[in-house]
Amino acid sequence: MTLFEKIIAREIPAKIVHEDDRCIAIHDIQPQAPVHVLVIPKQPIARIAEATPAHEALLGHLLLTAQALAKQLNLAAGFRIVINNGPHGGESVPHLHVHLLGGRQLAWPPG
């Protein structure tokens, strides 16, 4: 069971900012920006490279949830959405999740 599955099951506490039947959104414990929220599907998918066409609606839901949270968290000046994939992509938990970052000027390239 991944860290995120334990959070979803309420076995590990987290600062939840949103929850619905398909996802949960929490504040990242190691924020990389003043606002750093993770939008996590309740259905485990290890990483974006393993998503299939059957996941299309869920993936769209994650992005629209991130968009709604950006509005709720006053990120009108701009925000970034990131999905890490694999060790070279910065993936640290093998459970797909969307990073919503904002609250300051974000540089490019990111890393």
Q: Which sequence positions are flagged as catalytic?
A: 97
Peptide bond into 41 cis (omega under 30): no
Q: Give the separation between CA 52 and CA 32, rounded to whole angstroms.
A: 29
